[in-house]
Amino acid sequence: PSSQDHALPLMERYVDYCDSGTVRRTVRSSQNVAMVFFRVHTVGSSFTLTVRKPINPFPCNIISQTPEGSFTMVIP
Residue scoring higher pLDDT (76 or 56) = 56
Range of the structural domain that residue 52 is part of: 1-76
pLDDT of 20 strictly over 80:
no
75 — pLDDT class (breaks 50, 70, 90)? low
DSSP string, 11-76: GGT----TT--S-------SSS---------STT------------SS------S-S-S-------
Total structural domains within the chain:
1
